[in-house]
């Protein structure tokens, strides 16, 4: 029987990753970290279970191509527009400041300029996968710090391409110079532009022809061919395989089939990417790590500190409060997954020594391992940090005495998004006095020009709430998407004014009970209000009358959304719904020419015997004919007024909507 070592290695590799990934999931550590740990355990310096390392490395290269391909596919101009300030300004500042700091420190320790620049590239990138997954798990994806981090992370991902283009130049010490860097960027840019230009016209033509076959297998094979073919083409002109994958994804991102392509490629990408990260973990030398543990830990601490300081400084320069800046800085304080791609290329181009390779690999692994815990604990830790309250950029001055005199019986709106704007407009029209507190300096500036009573600041700061007159305010409304800030704000508001009515909009179910305990009077879960709207629309499609729908909605709200939280309604409430559904109700039906009712009289239609529904009136040309007799002829355009139970009405509607035979 033929022996296939690669197949055996793949089985070991994937089998070992499953229990470790499950453990990581239990500990709420991202899967990437689990794959890296798997590689360390089964690698040559530990259990040495893998023998065909070269073949595994080939598979990992394909994984990187697919990773860049999906990133290219997911790039959206609309997404850029939403966070363009964070992406362009924030991303540029973070990359620039971090690179400068790392290069200066590396040069001070005696490294060459080539090595220093490479270290800057390697350390300046953060982990998009780990950071966004951590925010998602905490329900903070729409919070200010998550929005800022997303913009910066996207910019970092975009910078991977020019960084990869520069690595061959960094790997040639005899020709290395600023001129050579610019020349490389220019030549690479022209090569990439030529490939984009050629494939921009060819790929859509090919895709249009393939789609005509309406065959999923042909479609998938063609997409893989485009991805790997473009990667092979870029490799032939001296660029990396990964850049080719990125170009193919970028071209297809504007295609009408981009979402289908992502769904087809995603399973393949996930498998190959897992192989990539496991292969990276296999390169870690446990013996080296144990011998150099103290230096590795010290350098890891230094890297985290550099990234935290300059990540926070970037957000601070964007004029956000210190709390948001520091939370974002902690989120970005790790080395990213694309750094491993740079590391592998850097080794191939002989930019770094084997020992430095091991240092960087160990440091990256440790920073990624600790990131989920840092993100989880950071907000609570920063809340207890009192000096934080004294650090805030460009915060407006408030005349405390004036506010104390003039503010009473008003509403405080926290957040000026869609909900905040709608509430402010209604309050203005009804003549109720209100003040707005917003964390985004640009929104504050724009709203002030529109005449809104808006102030810049962080709702978690008690002294700021006091200056807005919370002690004499009647209502405070939290309409922001930062769960941790909402919790602290609710607690502070209740402590400052025991009688104030606190209304909170939250996105998630898990927040409801905790917010009530902290002092909120009313918590409106966005997620479940959406669910109510959805089931209301569904019931309407089944011709269930509005009063029945409203009854069910009221019962659900009365029970505190317990129906949606897995708890049953009380028996008497279920009885109320059933009783309501059995009541005699009215409904109307417009008869069209295709309806079986058109052209028939009441005896021929025989609706009562067939469904139990009574036609109590017929409206024709604005005139009502009540209690129509047996011989009454129904014509197209008549409106039938029907009486019956919910089930009877539903049956009648089905019969009346069937086309006449």
Reduced 3-state DSSP string for 92-146: HHHHHHHHHHHHHHHHHCCCCHHHHHHHHHHHHCCCHHHHHHHHHHHCCCCCHHH
Mean local confidence (pLDDT), 478-488: 86
Helix 322-331 with 144-170: angle, nearest 10 deg? 50
At 97, the pLDDT band (50, 70, 90 cuts) reads very high
At 468, the pLDDT band (50, 70, 90 cuts) reads confident
Mean local confidence (pLDDT), 607-620: 89
Which sequence spans correspond to the domains of the chain?
54-380, 400-506, 584-661
Q: CA 563, CA 638: separation in Å to the nearest integer?
A: 41
Q: Is the pLDDT of residue 313 over 90?
A: yes
Contact 222, 213 (CB under 8 A): no
The b-or-e profile of 234-250 (16+ CB within 10 A means b, else e) is: beeeebbbbbbbbbbbb
Q: Is the pLDDT of residue 134 over 70?
A: yes
Q: Is the pLDDT of residue 210 over 60?
A: yes
State the DSSP string of 7-64. Answer: HHHHHHHHHHHHHHHHHHHHTT--HHHHHHHHHHHHSTTTT-----HHHHHHHHHHHH
Mean local confidence (pLDDT), 525-548: 71
Q: How far is CA 101 from CA 107, 121, 613, 649, in A?
A: 10, 11, 80, 74
Mean local confidence (pLDDT), 593-602: 87
The class (CATH top level) of 54-380 is mainly alpha
Q: Is the pLDDT of residue 352 over 50?
A: yes
Mean local confidence (pLDDT), 235-247: 74
Q: Is the pLDDT of residue 96 over 90?
A: yes
Mean local confidence (pLDDT), 225-232: 85
The b-or-e profile of 634-658 (16+ CB within 10 A means b, else e) is: beeebebbbbbbbebbbbbbebbee
**Per-residue pLDDT tens digits for 138-147:** 767 777 888 8
At 109, the pLDDT band (50, 70, 90 cuts) reads very high
**Average pLDDT over the chain, rounded to an integer:** 80
For position 251, what pLDDT does the model report? 77
Mean local confidence (pLDDT), 551-557: 72
Domain 400-506 is of which CATH architecture? Answer: 3-Layer(aba) Sandwich (3.40)
**Per-residue pLDDT tens digits for 148-187:** 888 898 788 778 878 887 888 787 766 666 776 677 667 7
For position 569, what pLDDT does the model report? 44
Lowest model confidence (mean pLDDT) among 124-138, 143-157, 323-337: 124-138
At 87, the pLDDT band (50, 70, 90 cuts) reads confident
For position 99, what pLDDT does the model report? 94
For position 394, what pLDDT does the model report? 46
Q: CA 161, CA 167: separation in Å to the nearest integer?
A: 10
Q: How far is CA 344 from CA 130, 153, 264, in A?
A: 20, 21, 28
Percentage of the chain lying above the pLDDT 90 cut: 16
At 561, the pLDDT band (50, 70, 90 cuts) reads low
Percentage of the chain lying above the pLDDT 70 cut: 81
Q: CA 527, CA 561: separation in Å to the nearest integer?
A: 11
At 567, the pLDDT band (50, 70, 90 cuts) reads very low
Mean local confidence (pLDDT), 218-228: 86
pLDDT, greater one: 585 or 367: 367
Start-to-end Cα distance in the chain: 68
CATH code: domain 584-661 is 3.30.70.1450
**Per-residue pLDDT tens digits for 359-401:** 998 999 899 888 888 887 776 666 665 555 545 544 444 444 4
For position 386, what pLDDT does the model report? 53
**Per-residue pLDDT tens digits for 395-426:** 444 444 444 445 567 999 999 988 899 899 88
**Per-residue pLDDT tens digits for 257-274:** 777 777 777 777 777 778
């Amino acid at each position: 029987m033929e022996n296939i070592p690669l197949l055996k290695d793949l089985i070991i590799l994937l089998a070992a990753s499953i229990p470790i990934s499950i453990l990581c999931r239990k500990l709420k550590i991202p899967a990437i970290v689990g794959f890296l740990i798997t590689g360390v355990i089964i690698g040559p310096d530990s259990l040495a279970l893998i023998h065909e390392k070269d073949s595994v490395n080939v598979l990992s290269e394909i994984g990187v191509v697919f990773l860049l391909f999906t990133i290219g596919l997911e790039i959206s101009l609309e997404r850029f527009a939403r966070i363009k300030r964070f992406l362009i300004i924030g991303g540029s500042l973070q990359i620039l400041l971090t690179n400068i700091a790392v290069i200066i420190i590396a040069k001070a320790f005696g490294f060459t300029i080539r090595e220093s620049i490479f270290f800057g590239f390697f350390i300046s990138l953060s982990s998009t996968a780990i950071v966004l997954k951590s925010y998602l798990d905490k329900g903070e994806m729409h919070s200010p710090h998550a929005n800022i981090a997303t913009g910066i992370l996207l910019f970092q991902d975009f910078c991977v391409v020019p960084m990869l283009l520069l690595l061959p130049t960094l790997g040639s010490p005899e020709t290395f110079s600023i001129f050579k860097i610019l020349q490389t960027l220019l030549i690479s840019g022209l090569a990439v532009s030529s490939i984009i230009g050629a494939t921009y016209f060819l790929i859509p033509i090919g895709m249009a022809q393939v789609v005509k076959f309406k065959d999923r297998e042909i479609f998938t094979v063609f997409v893989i061919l485009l991805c790997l073919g473009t990667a092979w083409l870029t490799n032939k002109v001296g660029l990396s395989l990964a850049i080719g994958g990125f170009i193919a994804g970028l071209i297809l991102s504007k295609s009408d089939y981009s979402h289908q392509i992502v769904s087809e490629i995603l399973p393949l990408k996930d498998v190959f990417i897992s192989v990539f990260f496991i292969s990276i973990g296999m390169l870690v030398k446990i013996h080296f790590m144990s011998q150099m543990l103290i230096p590795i830990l010290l350098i890891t601490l230094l890297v985290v500190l550099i990234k935290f300081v300059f990540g926070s400084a970037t957000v601070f320069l964007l004029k956000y409060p210190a709390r948001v800046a520091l939370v974002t800085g902690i989120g970005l304080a790790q080395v990213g997954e694309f750094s491993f791609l740079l590391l592998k290329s850097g080794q191939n181009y002989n930019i770094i020594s084997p020992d430095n390779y091991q240092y960087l690999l160990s440091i990256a692994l440790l920073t990624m391992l600790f990131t989920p815990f840092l993100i989880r604990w950071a907000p609570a830790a920063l809340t207890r940090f009192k000096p934080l309250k004294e650090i805030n950029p460009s915060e407006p001055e408030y005349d405390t005495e004036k506010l104390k005199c003039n503010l009473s019986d008003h509403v405080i709106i926290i957040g000026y998004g869609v909900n905040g704007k709608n509430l402010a407009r209604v309050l203005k029209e009804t003549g109720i006095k209100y003040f707005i507190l917003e964390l985004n300096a640009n929104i504050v500036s724009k709203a002030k020009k529109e005449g809104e009573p808006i102030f810049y600041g962080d709702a978690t700061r008690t002294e700021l709430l006091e200056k807005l007159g919370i002690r004499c305010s009647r209502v405070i409304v939290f309409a922001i998407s930062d769960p941790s800030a909402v919790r602290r704000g609710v607690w502070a508001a209740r402590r400052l004014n025991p009688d104030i009515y606190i209304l909170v909009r939250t996105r998630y179910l898990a927040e409801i009970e905790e917010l009530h305990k902290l002092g909120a009077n009313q918590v409106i879960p966005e997620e479940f209000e959406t669910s109510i709207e959805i089931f209301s629309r569904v019931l309407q499609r089944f011709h269930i009358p509005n009063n029945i729908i409203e009854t069910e909605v009221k019962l659900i709200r009365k029970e505190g959304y317990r129906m949606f939280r897995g708890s049953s309604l009380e028996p008497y409430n279920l009885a109320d719904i059933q009783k309501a559904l059995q009541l005699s109700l009215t409904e109307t039906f417009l008869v069209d020419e295709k309806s079986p009712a058109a052209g028939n009289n009441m005896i021929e239609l025989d609706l009562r015997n067939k469904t139990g529904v009574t036609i109590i009136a017929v409206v024709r040309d604005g005139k009502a004919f009540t209690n129509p007799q047996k011989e009454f002829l129904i014509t197209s355009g008549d409106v039938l007024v029907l009486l019956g139970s919910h089930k009877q009405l539903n049956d009648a509607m089905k019969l009346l909507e069937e086309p006449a035979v």
